């Protein structure tokens, strides 16, 4: 006994087969990519980063009980107090920020672009080694500090190499204006003085739920359009996401 096939059913099967075939031929859509700029400010009247441990943290916070915090620059005619290992920090430029602090690309790592050797203590380690810096950095859509704000980067970076050439970074980018709690988590090693470093994207929340991927991090020279009285490190971050 023969069963008569419905023309509608046959047409549906043909269209479904064609759709599957076309989908197999089409390349996968590109991974979401976006760009943001991170402003790390040390010292000055509106800092977004502060060393909290190690020699450099002691300089910032005071080294004796009930000491008044004086920041990185000693008072006029003041005498710097040596660290426990007898080492004294060297400051960088007019901001008075000790070498080995922060993310700037030409001031700290070994034989850097300015030809200045990183200062080492008697134990042979960089004075900044082990320094933990807490950040609440500003994220913007453009390289100028006055450009459209996107949110904040909150977390830490740690001077993780003996010669002061790398910082281990772990922070969350918290984006403003989202309907949900739109956060993206980053972790990895930032190489000071390198043209580009890579950080892993370790997850997120809100519209970034289940996100993974990586970020390309490049140091830039601040434009100077928005004048700050601290030491600014500017990072361009290009994020490549998968879900």
In this predicted structure, the answer to whether residue 240 has a pLDDT above a threshold of 80 is yes
What is the total count of domains within the chain? 1
Whether this model's pTM surpasses 0.75: no
Quick one: pLDDT band at residue 116, thresholds 50, 70, 90?
very low
**Domain assignment present for 170:** yes
**Domain assignment present for 93:** no
**Domain assignment present for 160:** yes
**Domain assignment present for 49:** yes
Per-residue pLDDT averaged across 181-195, rounded? 92
**Domain assignment present for 69:** no
Task: Return the number of other C-beta atoms located less than 10 Å from residue 30's C-beta.
Answer: 7
pLDDT over 90 percentage in the chain: 34
**Domain assignment present for 75:** no
Q: Select, from the ranges 27-36, 189-198, 224-233, the one with the highest average predicted confidence (pLDDT).
A: 189-198
**Domain assignment present for 223:** yes
In this predicted structure, the answer to whether residue 28 has a pLDDT above a threshold of 80 is no
Per-residue pLDDT averaged across 114-136, rounded? 67
| CATH for 194 | 2.40.480.10
pLDDT score of 105: 42
**Domain assignment present for 155:** yes
Q: Residue 163's domain spans which residues?
A: 38-56+122-242
pLDDT score of 115: 43
Quick one: pLDDT band at residue 151, thresholds 50, 70, 90?
very high
Higher pLDDT, 134 or 123: 134
In this predicted structure, the answer to whether residue 58 has a pLDDT above a threshold of 80 is no
Q: What is the pLDDT of residues 63-88, one digit of tens each?
A: 544 445 545 455 555 555 444 444 44
- Please, what's the b/e burial string for 179-194 (b: 16 or more CB within 10 A of its CB; e: otherwise)? eeebbbbbebbbbbbb
pLDDT score of 150: 93
């Amino acid at each position: 006994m023969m069963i008569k096939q419905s023309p509608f059913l046959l047409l549906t099967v043909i269209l479904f087969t064609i759709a599957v075939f076309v989908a197999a031929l089409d390349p996968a859509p590109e991974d979401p990519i976006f760009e943001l700029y991170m402003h790390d400010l040390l010292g000055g009247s509106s800092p977004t980063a502060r060393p909290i441990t190690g020699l450099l943290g002691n300089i910032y916070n005071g080294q004796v009980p009930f000491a008044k915090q004086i920041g990185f620059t000693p008072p006029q005619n003041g005498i710097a107090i040596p660290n426990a290992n007898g080492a004294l920090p060297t400051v960088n430029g007019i901001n008075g920020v000790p070498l080995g602090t922060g993310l700037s690309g030409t001031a700290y790592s070994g034989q850097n672009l300015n030809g200045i050797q990183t200062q080492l203590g008697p134990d042979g380690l960089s004075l900044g080694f082990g320094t933990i810096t807490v950040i609440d950095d500003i994220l913007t859509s453009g390289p100028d500090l006055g450009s459209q704000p996107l949110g904040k980067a909150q977390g830490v970076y740690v001077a993780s190499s003996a010669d002061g050439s790398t910082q281990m970074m772990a922070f969350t980018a918290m984006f403003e204006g989202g309907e949900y709690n739109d956060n993206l988590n980053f972790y990895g090693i930032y190489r000071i003085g390198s043209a580009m470093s890579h950080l892993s994207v370790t997850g997120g929340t809100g519209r970034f739920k289940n996100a993974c991927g990586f970020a390309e991090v490049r140091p830039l020279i601040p434009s100077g359009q928005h004048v700050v009285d601290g030491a600014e490190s500017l990072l361009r971050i290009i994020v490549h996401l998968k879900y």
